[in-house]
């Protein structure tokens, strides 16, 4: 039953983020993405090559796509009301409605929180970043 649900989620992931059919979903998690001072509750999808996030809340859609090889730094921080995973990316490479373009080339910080097991998810993200093909 779990395998069937995962396959359904993987199909939705491929369609939602316009991924090629051979992109493999590793796992997905409910979480919050901090855009400004309010979290956008949604789903983080971790694939072999990407971190993706999707939220549709009160008529507002947030969609992020970050290639692992654009991640410059990862941090696990205690902030706000819970631990956060902070992903620093090259803003010229990240895409989506949740990422502000920054032509200066300064790092963009993406803050995610409200995970059920933040440390475990951070470790998985760290592993995926390290194995990214550049």
Domain boundaries of the chain, sorted by first residue: 2-130
Confidence (pTM): 0.86
- Residues 25-34: tens digit of each pLDDT: 999 999 999 8
Q: How far apart are the first and last CA of the chain?
A: 36
Helix H segments across the chain?
A: 2-16, 118-130
Residue 100 pLDDT greater than 50, yes or no: no
Please name every residue paired with 30 in a beta bridge, in sequence order, or none if there are none: 43
Check if the beta carbon of residue 14 is closer than 8 Å to that of residue 24. no
Check if the beta carbon of residue 115 is closer than 8 Å to that of residue 80. no
Give the span between the Cα atoms of 74 and 127, in whole angstroms. 11
Residue 85 pLDDT greater than 80, yes or no: yes
Check if the beta carbon of residue 66 is closer than 8 Å to that of residue 89. yes
Residue 101 pLDDT greater than 90, yes or no: no
Neighbours of 95 (CB within 10 A): 16
* CATH top-level class of 2-130: mainly beta
Collapsed DSSP state (helix, strand, coil) of residue 81: coil
Distance from chain centroid for Cα 124 = 12
Q: Which residue has the tokens 């654009």?
A: 70
């Amino acid at each position: 039953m779990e395998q069937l649900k995962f396959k359904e989620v993987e199909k939705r992931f491929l369609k939602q983020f316009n991924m090629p059919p051979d992109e493999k979903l590793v796992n997905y998690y409910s979480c919050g993405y901090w855009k400004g001072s309010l979290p956008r509750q949604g789903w983080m999808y971790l694939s072999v090559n990407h971190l993706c996030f999707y939220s549709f809340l009160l008529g507002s859609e947030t969609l992020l796509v970050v290639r692992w090889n654009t991640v410059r730094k990862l941090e696990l921080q205690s902030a706000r009301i819970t631990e956060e995973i902070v992903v620093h990316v090259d803003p010229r490479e990240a895409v989506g409605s949740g990422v502000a373009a920054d032509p200066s080339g300064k790092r963009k910080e993406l803050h995610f929180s409200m995970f059920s097991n933040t440390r475990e998810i951070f470790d998985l993200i760290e592993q995926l970043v390290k194995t990214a093909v550049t």
